Amino acid sequence: MIKTKNEYINREISWLRFNARVLQESNDKRVPLIDRLRFLGIFSNNLDEFFKVRYATVKRIVDAGKTGKSVLGGERANDLLEEITKIVIDQQARSLEIFNAIEKELRSENIFIIDEKEVSESQAEFIRDYYFKKVNQELMTIILNDLTEFPLLKDTAAYLAVKIVMKNGSGQGRHNRYALIEIPKGIDRFVVLPKEGEKNYIIILDDLIRFCLDNVFTMFEFESISAHMIKITRDAELDIDNDLSKSFIEKISSSVEHRKISDPVRFVYDKKIDKDTLQFLKEKMDIMGTDSVIPGGRYHNRRDYMGFPSLGRYDLMYEKIEPLPVKGLSMKGSLLEMIAHKDYMIYAPYHTFSYVTKFLREAALDPKVRNIKITIYRLASDSQIASALINAAKNGKHVTVQIELQARFDEQNNIEYANYLQAEGVHLIFGVPGLKVHSKICMIEREEGHGIKRYGFISTGNFNESTAKIYTDYTLFTAHEGILKDMGKVFDFFETNYKINKYKHLIVSPHYTKSTFIKLIDKEINNAKQGREAYIKIKMNSLTSYKMVDKLYEASRAGVKIQMIIRGICCLIPGIEGMSENIEAISVVDKFLEHPRSFIFANGGNPKVYISSADWMTRNLDFRVEVGCPIYDEDIKQELLDTFEISWRDNMKARVLSAKQDNAYRQKAKGEPGFRSQIEMYHYYQKKLES
């Protein structure tokens, strides 16, 4: 057993270790080549969001003159910022090495990413034509020397910092001119050049602009011109004002707008940039030594690699799976009629998400349906969910939507949807003061016989048909009267949140989630002490609540066997003698983003099984409205047990979480065949259909 002095892993450091697992995917030869590039994009996008939110939060603590030890797991905020910067610099360097290796492999597949120095004569003609037709009019170019005030750089936009050495100048002093070119977001980052035989050529938009710099700066007589990329990341925390004359939607809109001028928290630059250019920029931007200044490679905004063109090379990408139907739940008949007799569960993307939209479409047209109530956290850009809700309102249904305007980075999208829904007659609720609404619930009320019958669904993920193709999530369809009566109380709480309801079935944050799970853990502790079977199986995105970590340590010391599948942050340290020797934890990072939250308790031989929208994070337990649901149907309960076991058996994409934080892949036993859980999960559901 490993021994350690620390009881927790810092959440920011743990998050960086998670992103390192994403980076591992880009270096995994078992991952198709183009998808490896896309994982590099995901890694970069994750890092941008980390600096906007988590790094910015720690920086605010430092700026306020506080240590932050009480909220940072005992680490001083200043020390943590330094540690983060060091880790990120190492990860950035590693990502560049991986990219260079991928680029070489692409060349062996006749895919060539060329720069401005590798352009042939025939390609030059195409590039010049492309530049004048599509790029020139989109360029925002600013000459910096004569400006009294440095221009406001956009958050995470990419810029070329241009150095122009004028004729008759020394090349070092006042005869240098400096400029910024903003890389246009409205143009594809990857420009596919004409194919030559079997060879595919791509030039990145940055290099296409570099190739045409003489056209950009024709008004100057220069000896030489060079361009290196820079990028800043700004604090993305919403500062909501207290102006009572403004509506909540106006306050959120104003706060989102303010993000554009919030404090920068990271400055990334091409490490090959000339020293005098870098010094000029840092002085003009007033970048201090305490800020996170990170040398990088030639290209930034690598998140764009998520959209790397396929070039028709489907052999270099993951094979797309065809989402399966749920056994017994037909898309042809009435879903409501089928759900009236039995609970059903879909597990996207293995199952088709179309059941969710069909449920709402059917409710929108059914003359007996009177009310539809739903929570919305993130919607697709072209949402079928929103369309179905508007369809219902136009058919005279009373539609109530609780829409969370503070969904991180989806605020603007949700504001636009809120205005759209409201204009179409949908009744909107804008949250609960001091709480985010993160629950994933929907309920309809239908006239049947002499009363009202309720139907609904509860999910671990967003009602978003786009992310449902790549996020794994459970959604339970039910007509269980007790569950739906509790769900009605949750919607009542949105309207009258001064009243705290009691629930017989659902587990609801912020009032009951933590206490309910603590009671369930306590029962396992008591059973273990009495020599009964005692175990806990947890699958979720993140575990950061020290209260819940301490409770799991207590259970481990009592002899409760605990298995955890934690995709992201895990502040608990497994396998420590006298503290957590009965706890094992893994993280599965693969083709799909592991997103469900499920909880299984031995319960003396009659397992209790739950799904939930809540991770065990302080924000989810104490500062959000979350809903967890018990699984009563025995078939679905067994399905949750089976799917946990399939994930747990992974020996190809599972990393062991430990005090070392080295993201070591789980090792196969001698003679043990490879077991990739996401592939096996699909096979599991195929076999269920066949049986």
Structure tokens at 681: 């999960």
CA distance 691 to 682: 14
Beta strands in 155-262 (DSSP E): 158-166, 176-182, 190-196, 199-204, 222-234
Residue 228: what are its φ and ψ, rounded to 5°? Answer: -130, 145
Cα diameter, the chain: 93
Residues in a beta bridge with 111: 200
Half-sphere exposure of 590 (CA within 13 A, CB side): 24
Residue 190 dihedral angles phi and psi, to the nearest 5°: -110, 115
Provide the 3-class DSSP secondary structure of residue 244.
coil
What are the start-end ranges of the H helices in 1-154? 11-26, 33-50, 56-63, 77-108, 121-130
- Peptide bond just before 295 cis, omega within 30 deg: no
**Strand blocks (E) in 317-414:** 344-348, 369-376, 398-403
Q: For tokens 């009965």, name the residue.
A: 582
CA distances from 191 to 115, 209, 311, 317 (A): 11, 11, 11, 19
CA distance 394 to 397: 7
What is the rounded CA–CA span in Å between residue 303 and residue 351?
28
C-alpha neighbours within 13 Å on the C-beta side of residue 390: 13
Which residue among 351, 438, 480, 595 is the active-site one?
Answer: 438
- Radius of gyration for the alpha carbons in the chain, expressed in angstroms and rounded: 27
Nearest-angstrom CA–CA distance, 420 and 413? 11
d(Cα 314, Cα 32) in Å, to the nearest integer? Answer: 9
Structure tokens that stand for 55 in this block: 């790094």
Compute, in degrees rounded to 10, the torsion defined by CA atoms 185, 292, 289, 162: -20
Q: What is the 3-state secondary structure (H, E, C) of 504-544?
A: CCCEECCCCHHHHHHHHHHHHHHHHHCCCCCEEEEEECCEC
Residues 540, 3: Cα–Cα separation, whole Å: 26
Length of the chain: 691
Report the 10 Å Cβ neighbour count for 23: 24
Query: Cβ(360)–Cβ(373) under 8 Å?
Result: no
Q: Which two tokens stand for residue 536?
A: 């806990």
CA proximity to 446, closest of 401, 481, 416, 415: 481
How far is it, in rounded angstroms, from Cα 114 to Cα 123?
Answer: 11
Please give the structure tokens belonging to residue 548. Answer: 């819940």
Residue 366 and residue 487: Cα distance in Å, rounded?
21
DSSP H/E element including 390: helix 384-394
Determine the Cα–Cα distance for residues 319 and 126; give it in Å rounded to an integer: 33
Torsions phi, psi of 260, nearest 5? Answer: -65, -25
175 is catalytic: no
Check the CA dihedral 445-448-450-455 and report its sign: negative
Around 155, how many Cα atoms within 13 Å sit in the side-chain half-sphere?
Answer: 23
| Sign of the C-alpha dihedral computed for residues 108, 109, 113 and 117 taken in this order | positive
CA atoms within 13 A on the CB side of 294: 28
Residues with catalytic function: 438
